[in-house]
Amino acid sequence: DTGVSQNPRHKITKRGQNVTFRCDPISEHNRLYWYRQTLGQGPEFLTYFQNEAQLEKSRLLSDRFSAERPKGSFSTLEIQRTEQGDSAMYLCASSTGPTGGQFFGPGTRLTVL
């Protein structure tokens, strides 16, 4: 399967802990996006990478959130000092350009107790 993969699929953590998620995009895609989706809502944009450069961050991405894409391939999203309000599905998507559509991974569901 050469689609977008995300790990872990599920993460349960206690408030105050740090968590890290990984996304492996489709191999020839140089653009990578992170979105957050809460129950009953559509995905909301968090951040965007073109190759290894992080070119846009949403205001939703507080100081506790950091994302990297060190070699322009896989990406990680870290949340420090998690809060219950961080509970959501975190989706990763990749594409070759700004217009052809983004291809999404299965998501990582985070539950903060």
Partner 1 sequence: GEDVEQSLFLSVREGDSSVINCTYTDSSSTYLYWYKQEPGAGLQLLTYIFSNMDMKQDQRLTVLLNKKDKHLSLRIADTQTGDSAIYFCAESIPGNTGKLIFGQGTTLQVKP
- DSSP lists the bridge partners of residue 19 as 79
Tell me how far the alpha carbon of residue 40 is from its chain's centroid. Answer: 19
| Least distance between partner 1 and beta carbon 16 (Å) | 27
Among the listed ranges 20-28, 30-38, 61-69, 77-85, the one in contact with partner 1 (CB under 8 A) is 30-38
Nearest to 19, CA basis, from 72, 86, 68, 73: 86
Tokens encoding 80: 């420090």
Q: Which of 82, 107, 110, 112 binds partner 1 (CB under 8 A)?
A: 107
Residue 94 binding partner 1, by CB under 8 A: no
Q: Which of 19, 33, 67, 110 binds partner 1 (CB under 8 A)?
A: 33
